[in-house]
């Protein structure tokens, strides 16, 4: 399994849309290294023939009738918005950026 350093933490932080100061990144690298060192013990388990569990109890995907139900009132849905206009959430400009 991998070693984790400050550069790796900064790469992950970008994926997670978090900004860390250099000191935070340094400290996080040490903390994650300790946690990943601890979880390394799982490598001792032979799991080649084991199916993964994504859900604790077997359940079929429940389906309901394809019938429209009343949605959340748009005014209520927008009530918590930091910035709203009409029936829309307002965000800063998306263009002029390297990323989406």
Partner 1 sequence: MRFATASDLAAALAGGRVSAVELTDAALAAAERARALGAFVHLSPERARADAAASDARRARGDARGPLDGVPVALKDLIVDEGEPCTCASRILENFVAPYAGTAAARLRAAGAVVIGRTNMDEFAMGSSNEHSVYGPARNPWDPERTPGGSSGGSAAAVAAGVVPIALGSDTGGSIRQPAALCGVVGLKPTYGRVSRYGLVAFASSLDQIGPFARTAADCALVLEAIAGHDPRDSTSLPEPAPRLRAALSGDVSGLVIGLPREFFAAGGPAPAVAERVREAIAELERAGAKTREVSLPHAPYAIATYYLIATAEASSNLARYDGVRFGRRAEAATLGEMYRRTRSQGFGPEVKRRILLGTYVLSAGYYDAYYRKAQKARTLLRRDFEAAFAGCDVIAGPTTPETAFRLGERTEDPLRMYLSDVYTVSANLAGIPGISLPCGFADGLPVGLQLLGRPLDEATLLRVADAYQRRTDWHTKTPDPARWESAA
How big is the chain by its Cα radius of gyration, in Å?
Answer: 22
Q: Which of 51, 57, 6, 54 is nearest to 30 (CA)?
A: 6
Residue 71 in the binding site for partner 1 (CB under 8 A): no
Minimum gap (Å) between residue 24 Cβ and partner 1:
8
x/- map, 16-35, partner 1, by CB under 8 A: xxxxx-------x--xx-xx
Structure tokens at 36: 């990943």
Task: Report the largest interatomic distance among the alpha carbons of the chain, rounded to a whole angstrom.
Answer: 57
Report the distance separating Cα 11 and Cα 2, nearest Å: 14
What residues line the site for partner 1 (CB under 8 A)? Answer: 1-2, 4, 8-9, 12-13, 15-20, 28, 31-32, 34-36, 38-39, 41-43, 45, 47, 50-57, 59, 61-62, 64, 72-73, 76-77, 79-83, 89, 91-94, 96-100
């Amino acid at each position: 399994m991998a070693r984790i350093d400050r550069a790796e933490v900064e790469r992950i932080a970008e994926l997670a849309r978090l900004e860390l100061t250099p000191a935070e990144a340094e400290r996080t690298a040490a903390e994650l290294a300790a946690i990943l060192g601890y979880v390394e013990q799982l490598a001792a388990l032979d799991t080649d023939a084991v199916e993964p569990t994504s859900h604790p109890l077997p359940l079929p995907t429940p389906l309901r009738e394809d019938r429209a139900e009343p949605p959340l009132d748009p005014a209520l849905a927008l009530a918590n918005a930091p910035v709203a206009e009409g029936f829309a959430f307002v965000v800063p400009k998306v263009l002029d950026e390297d990323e989406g």
